[in-house]
Amino acid sequence: MPAHSKSLRSRISAGLLMFRRRNNELEVLLAHPGGPFFVRKDDGVWTIPKGEAAPGEDLLTRAQIEFEEEVGCRPGNVQRWIELGWI
């Protein structure tokens, strides 16, 4: 195992990639990130709503919490959750 694996593994983010198909086009929801890292950073940065999970925390639950905190509403009308795995 590489020396950096433990430090990388100990910091896991969980997020939701919300998308829909509308009028034969794919639409994705992106948000401007917040938090201390992005204070006074370029407003042109956009990403999926996500945040760091605590060790052992359920990742879907953390992702839903982060979505609500960053977007201001709960993810609604979700037909199904698809786990994308590790990126």
Share of the chain above pLDDT 70, in %: 87
pLDDT 10s digits, 29-56: 998 877 677 777 777 888 899 999 999 9
Between CA 71 and CA 22 the distance in angstroms is 21
Long-range contacts at 74-79 (CB < 8 A, ≥ 24 apart): 75/16, 75/18
Instruction: Write the CB contacts of 57 (distance below 8 Å, at least 6 apart in sequence).
Output: 14
17 vs 48: CA distance, rounded Å? 6
All domains in the chain, ordered by first residue:
5-71 (3.90.79.10)
3-state DSSP call for residue 87? coil
Prediction pTM value? 0.73
